[in-house]
Chains A and B, each alone.
Chain A
Amino acid sequence: MAQLTYRDAVARAITQEMERDPNVVFLGEDVGGAGGVFKATVGLLERFGPERVRDTPISEQAILGAAMGAAMTGLRPIAEIMFADFFAVCWDLVANQIAKSSYMTAGQVSFPLVIRSGNGGGLRFGAQHSQSVENWAMAVPGLKVVAPSNPTDVIGLFAAAVRDPDPVMFFEHKGLYSSKGEVPDGEIVDTLGSAKVLRPGGDATIVALAAMVPRAVAAAEALAQRGIEAGVIDVRSLVPLDTQTILREVSATGRLFTVEENPRLCGWGAELVSIVAEECFNYLDGPPLRITTPHIPLPSADALEDMAIPSVERIVTTIERAMQS
């Protein structure tokens, strides 16, 4: 066991997989010589050389096209899109090409690739460098979608993503890069499509993703002091989605609260609420509630951004009020 930052966990995860498989290659802007703009890929160029760790020009379409073409011819590329907001300039490759080509070709080609990207807000970067766009990816058939909340999951889920035969969108949260956690020694490999129950709770179930997970845990602790036992589930993977774990927990508590950083409409929580409503309606003691960012672009000023993204206080207040009504 050792203390590791989320940022260092990224480099360790990539190292673990590149050490294991010479077909794993890595490309992106500033990922090599600079060690990544978030310093999450420091040391990889020195360790694996410029043939396997390739700095690219600012050409997001070329980065993802190259990853796709390499994946369909036998490599297992890792591509970095620096900020998840930049998916808007290369979404053709993601949504039209990488996601659909296995289906369209009746399975002639597959795409064992990982696209990792800095997602989410809280860093005062404004509306074009702060979005949570995991629901964009979730809406496209053919993409697996993962968003880890802690350093150990970064490594384990990343390893699972690299070893998966299908394209995985791996959303790292920019606001978590400096967060720390205890990480086991040795190889770590997790499973895609498995949610994790972080905290049991008999009164309510809070389901959260990425940076909302530590806030949900803090909120649950505060609620416990006020006599409300709320459990917390880290969804971890939106596609595949571990509905069984979530349905089981919500059926037991009778209350569902989702905590989502994305703007309100069509966030992942909406799908979850729909599944719960369809499949365990009779176990519910009250309406499922979604705690999200309002349906606005994210503002830059710290005072405004902090109001927009769900805070521990807002989670606590919302749940407490709902449970008392």
Chain B
Amino acid sequence: MTSTTDDPAATAGPPGIDPATLHRPDGSVDVPTQLALYRQMVRMRKFETRAYDLFMENLVKGTSHLSLGQEAIAAAFGEAMEDQDYTFATYRGHAHTLARGTSMTGVMGELLGRSCGVLSGKGGSMHLTDVSHGVMGSYAIVGAHLTIALGAAWSAQYRGEQRVAVAFFGDGTTNIGAFHESLNLAAVWKLPVVFVCENNMYMEYTPIGSVTAVANPAADRAAAYGLDSILVDGNDADAMYLTARESLDRARSGGGPSLIEARTYRSSGHSRADPGKYRPDAEVAAWKNYDPIVLYRTRLVTRGVSEADLDAIEETADGDVETATVNAKASPAPGADDLLRDVWSDGGSSWRN
């Protein structure tokens, strides 16, 4: 059984957006892939919810930025990408890291500052990296990683490898210089890179429309770099998956970069400290009714997937999150020997003889 994006369930469209403006990718998504997408999203949702609870218990220190409500984008690319592809994420990168197969304990441990963390507690929530799964880093200075993704794509192109670099970023990034430098150079060098703008409508606390010259902050800029304007429903996991496949295929076959603007909404605030009160109640409510996981579950059930199968995915994810939490809490804090390690590739930090 397959679904297509011609299906009404897939084309209702996100709140406040004219469905006619949305990209409608060709093709269909088979059920095993749909179940994988569902599993990805559920794991992300449950992980982020637990991460929030652990903030409240003061077990996660510092700050953290959750992807609640935006899961379909990271899930779609996680499923569409090949093992050899590179992910470049932002400080809102827990979901993108999990999507590539990084252990939940490794991510949870990093949030808790424990030695089982994927960075041994030295990077924290905003810098998740797992090279063994193609996660080439999460970057906390807006825009920087778009330029770094260029280099990974250039490296693949130079060696004739079939690898694609994918850089995820928020709508706020479209107004920093590095975004424009990256799109231009990627287009000129025809690099195998996909730029994915997760437009959740707010750059931190400010509505993106109030500080941007165009309505669609990424899609409306694409033409300036000779790229197609692609605006996609970021809460529709099937549309996202097919769009991801298109862009990855294009990059892999030498067709150069893509810029995708995925419209979505974060159902929590910008960061731990932000309750998100600056957003109109009606807007929050409308998007709450357009939740990517609820939508997808309904779609799968409508197409004949059993509730029991979906419940089993949820239960497994609950167990994974619980195990990761228990493991992270049990893991010791990093020790003094970690403090001075790994400034240099020889493992040390010496600057003199």
Given A65-B147, A69-B155, A71-B151, CB of A107 within 8 Å of CB of B353: no
Residues 320-335 (chain B) with a chain A CB within 8 angstroms: none
Whether A69 and B149, one on each chain, are in contact in the complex, defined by CB atoms closer than 8 angstroms, is: yes
Interchain CB contact under 8 A, B141 and A243 = no
Q: Is B210 an interface residue (CB 8 A)?
A: no
Give Cα distance in the complex from A141 to B340, angstroms: 11
Once the chains bind, are A67 and B353 in contact (CB under 8 Å)? no
C-alpha spacing A153/B333, complex, angstroms: 45
Contacts of B149 in A (CB 8 A): 65, 69
Complex Cα–Cα for A92 and B181 (A): 14
B151 and A106 contacting across the interface, CB-CB below 8 Å: no
Q: A69's contact among B131, B141, B154, B347, by CB below 8 Å, is which? A: B154
- How far in angstroms is the closest Cβ of chain A from B160? 11
Interface flags for A204-228 (1: CB within 8 Å of B; 0: not) read: 0000000000000000000000000
| A102 and B344 in contact, given A240-B352, A241-B352 (Cβ under 8 angstroms) | yes
Binary flags per residue of B226-245, CB closer than 8 Å to A gives 1, else 0: 00000000000000000000
With A57-B188, A72-B136, A243-B353 in contact, is A65–B123 under 8 Å at CB?
A: no
B87 at the binding interface (Cβ < 8 Å):
no
CB closest chain-B residue, reference A65:
B147
* A278: interface (CB < 8 Å): no
Which residues of chain B have C-beta atoms less than 8 A from A75's C-beta?
154-155, 158
Q: Which of A93-101, A128-136, A298-306, A315-323 contacts B (4 or more CB under 8 A)?
A: A93-101
Does A296 sit at the interface, judged by CB under 8 A? no
Taking the closest CB of chain B, its distance from the CB of A248, in whole angstroms, is 11
Residues 119-170 of B at the A interface (beta carbon under 8 Å) = 119-120, 122-123, 127, 129-131, 136-137, 139, 141, 143-156, 158-159, 165
Q: Are B156 and A109 in contact (CB under 8 A)?
A: no
**Cα distance A96–B345 when bound, in Å?**
17
Contact A65 B182 (CB under 8 A): yes
B341 at the interface (CB under 8 A from A): yes
Q: Is the CB of B147 within 8 A of A69?
A: yes
Residues of A within 8 A of B343 (CB): 102-103, 141-142
A97 in complex: contacting residue of B144, B165, B353, CB < 8 Å: B144
> Do residues B123 and A104 form an inter-chain contact, with CB atoms below 8 A?
yes
A97: chain B residues at CB < 8 Å are 139, 141, 144, 148
B306 at the interface (CB under 8 A from A): no
The answer to whether B302 has its CB under 8 Å from any CB of chain A is no
Complex Cα distance, B338 from A107, in Å, reads: 11
Q: Given that A56-B185, A73-B151, A103-B122 are contacting pairs, would A65 and B178 also be in contact in the complex, using a CB cutoff of 8 Å?
A: yes
Per-residue interface assignment for chain B, residues 78 to 98, with 1 indicating a CB less than 8 Å from any chain A CB and 0 otherwise:
000000001000000000000
Complex CA–CA separation, A275 to B181 (angstroms)? 42
Interface residues of B in 211-251 (CB under 8 A from A): none
User: B147 touching A57 by the CB < 8 A rule?
Assistant: no
Q: Given the complex, which residues of A lie within 8 Å of B154, measured CB to CB? A: 66, 69-70, 75
Complex Cα distance A104/B117, Å? 12
- Is A203's CB within 8 Å of the partner chain B? no
* CB-based contact B152/A70 at 8 Å: yes
Interface residue from A66, A102, A105, A165 paired with B147 (Cβ < 8 Å): A66
Q: A34 at the A/B interface (Cβ < 8 Å)?
A: no
CA distance A62 to B151 in the complex (A): 9
| Nearest CB on B from A284, distance (A) | 19
User: CB distance A66 to B151 under 8 Å?
Assistant: yes
Q: Is the CB of A61 within 8 A of B177?
A: yes
- Determine the distance from Cα of A240 to Cα of B184 in the docked complex, in whole angstroms: 37
User: Which residues of the partner chain A approach B130 to less than 8 Å between Cβ atoms?
Assistant: 108
CB of A74 within 8 Å of the partner chain: yes
A66/B129 in contact, CB under 8 A:
no
- Is A77 among interface residues, defined by CB-CB distance under 8 A? yes
Chain A residues in 8 Å Cβ range of B147: 61-62, 64-66, 68-69, 93
The answer to whether B129 touches A105 (Cβ under 8 A) is yes
Say whether B253 faces chain A, with CB atoms less than 8 Å apart.
Answer: no
Within 8 A of B (CB), among A176-190: none
Check if B58 is an interface residue, CB within 8 A of chain A.
no
| Centre residue among B122, B127, B149, B352 by max chain A CB count within 10 A | B352
In the assembled complex, A282 has its CB within 8 A of some CB on chain B: no
Q: Which residues of A contact B119 (CB under 8 A)?
A: 104-106, 108
What A residues does B145 contact at CB under 8 A? 65
Query: Which of B187-201 touch A at CB < 8 Å?
Result: 188-189
A54→B349 CA distance, assembly (Å): 33
Q: Which residues of A sit under 8 angstroms from B352, Cβ to Cβ? A: 193, 240-243, 275
B346 interface residue (CB < 8 Å to A)? yes
Nearest CB of chain B from residue A48's CB, rounded to whole Å: 12
Contact with A along B283-325 (1 / 0, CB 8 A): 0000000000000000000000000000000000000000000
CA gap between A103 and B129 in the complex, in Å: 12
What does the 1/0 interface line of B7-45 toward A look like (CB < 8 Å)? 000000000000000000000000000000000000000
- CB of A69, distance to nearest CB on chain B (Å): 2
| A142 contact set on B, CB distance < 8 A | 343-344
How far apart are the CA atoms of A235 and B264 in the complex, in Å?
55
Query: When A and B form their complex, which 10 residue pairs have the shortest distance between CB atoms, in order from nearest?
Result: A65-B147, A69-B151, A107-B342, A165-B345, A59-B181, A62-B181, A70-B151, A66-B151, A104-B123, A73-B155
What are 28 contact pairs spanning A and B, CB under 8 A?
A: A51-B158, A54-B189, A57-B184, A61-B181, A62-B178, A62-B182, A65-B148, A65-B178, A66-B185, A69-B147, A69-B149, A69-B153, A73-B155, A75-B155, A75-B158, A96-B144, A101-B137, A102-B342, A105-B122, A105-B123, A105-B127, A105-B129, A107-B341, A108-B119, A112-B345, A193-B353, A241-B353, A243-B353
Knowing that A61-B143, A112-B345, A141-B349 touch, tell me 18 more A-B residue pairs with CB under 8 angstroms. Answer: A57-B181, A57-B184, A59-B185, A62-B185, A65-B145, A68-B148, A70-B154, A73-B156, A92-B141, A93-B148, A96-B141, A104-B119, A105-B127, A106-B338, A107-B341, A109-B136, A240-B353, A244-B353
